[in-house]
Amino acid sequence: MADPKYKRVLLKVSGEVLMGEQPYGIDMKTVGEVADSVARAHATGVEICLVIGGGNIFRGLSKAAGDMERATADQMGMLATVMNALAMQAALEKAGVPTRVQSALDMPAVAEPLIRRRALRHLEKGRVVIFAAGVGAPFFTTDSGAALRAAEMGCDVLLKGTSVDGVYSADPKKDPTATRYDTLSYTDVLARDLRVMDASAIAMMRDASIPIVVFSIREENSFQRVLKGEGAHTVICAKP
């Protein structure tokens, strides 16, 4: 693998990716494949932070929440991200990658508390850090959590690994005429309401001048390719 473009990255993985071909839950085969991809990138010396969504288990804004109070539903969603983080930690350590999970919700029996300086030290020591439980408060998505951690950790880029290879003009699964954008500005995403991430996350990355790269993590070696600026993806930045 050629030298990567970035020294420190935050990889945001959608919880739905971890379902694999299942209708819900965690498919450990898929988790292992994502972990292997992260391990290969880690071996090149890239410092990696991870944030994983919880939509494969429970999402506060899903139909499963019914008429539950939003704050309670979001707390359940945060717990789902902790479950995914622990599954990914197990898979990464099986692949030989030292990993630490830090949770924004206090649960010392299963994860470290979220301490920025400790997380930075982990990265400097060559460990992957998985940030769980979002921002630790309801009414914020894991996209916002990913943006916040990327800014806190001084990451060079926020990489959003989804099941789609970039940002499209419409949902490519529903509209075969949808076209993929190679580049977009933060303003374009907000003005066109493209919803690749929530508005607060886009605004935070704009203010921190951290580019966002959207790609399909389901494709083989896609993480390695995007670290070199290759493969199908969309870059969201100040001036495309």
Number of domains in the chain: 1
Q: What are residue 8's phi and psi, to 5 degrees?
A: -135, 130
The mean of the pLDDT values for the chain is 93
Residue 156's domain is classified under what CATH number? Answer: 3.40.1160.10
- Is a pLDDT exceeding 60 seen at residue 205? yes
List, edge to edge, every strand of the sheet that includes 212-216: 112-113, 99-103, 128-132, 47-52, 8-13, 157-162, 212-216, 234-237, 183-185
Q: What is the DSSP string of 138-175?
A: TT--HHHHHHHHHHHTT-SEEEEEESSSSEESS-TTT-
Residue 173's contacts (CB-CB under 8 Å, 6 or more residues apart) are 164
What gap in Å lies between CA 68 and CA 45, rounded to an integer?
44
Q: Is residue 3 part of a domain?
A: no
Q: What is the predicted pLDDT for the residue at 64?
A: 64
Q: Is residue 40 part of a domain?
A: yes
238 in Cβ contact with 209 (< 8 Å): yes
Q: What is the predicted pLDDT for the residue at 67?
A: 81
Q: Is residue 1 part of a domain?
A: no
Domain span holding position 176 = 8-237
Q: What is the DSSP string of 5-62?
A: S-SEEEEEE-GGGGGTTSSSS--HHHHHHHHHHHHHHHTTT-EEEEEE--TTT--TTS
Which percentage of the chain shows pLDDT scores above 90?
84
pLDDT one-digit tens code per residue, 48-74: 999 999 999 987 666 666 788 989 999
Token representation of residue 67: 């008429």
Q: What is the predicted pLDDT for the residue at 1?
A: 47
DSSP-derived secondary structure letter, 3 = P
Q: What is the predicted pLDDT for the residue at 2?
A: 60
**pTM, two decimal places:** 0.94
Which percentage of the chain shows pLDDT scores above 70?
96
Q: Is residue 125 part of a domain?
A: yes
Q: What is the dihedral of CA 86, 204, 11, 91, to 10 degrees?
A: 0
Q: Is residue 221 part of a domain?
A: yes
Q: Is residue 188 part of a domain?
A: yes
Query: Which CA distances in Å does 86 have to 89, 135, 177, 229?
Result: 5, 17, 39, 29
- Is a pLDDT exceeding 90 seen at residue 174? no
The count of other CB atoms within 10 Å of the CB of residue 84 is 26
Q: Is residue 2 part of a domain?
A: no
